[in-house]
Chains A and B, each alone.
Chain A
Amino acid sequence: MLVTLSWLSRYVDITLTHDELVDRLSLSGLNHEGSETIDGEVVIDLEVTSNRGDCLGHIGVAREIAVLTDQKLKLPMIEFQESSKNVNDLLTVRNEFTDAMPPPIPPMPIWALIGTPAKAAGI
Chain B
Amino acid sequence: MRRGSQLRATSYLLAAVALAIVLLSVGQSLRIEAVRGAAQTVFEPLQAVFAAAGDGLGGFFGSIASIGGAEDENRRLRQQVGDLQRRLDSLEALRATDAQLRASLELRDSLNIHTVAAEVIGTDPDGMAQTITIHAGSGRGLKVGMAVLGQRGLVGRIVAAQRSSSQVRLISDPALPVNVVTSTDHVGGTLKVSQAHLLMEIPGSPIDLKIPTGEVLVTSGLGGNFPKGIPVAEVVKFEYKPAEVIQSGEVAPLDDLAHLEYVLVDMDFVPELAG
A binds B: no
Interfacial residues, chain A to chain B (CB-CB below 8 A):
none
Interfacial residues, chain B to chain A (CB-CB below 8 A):
none
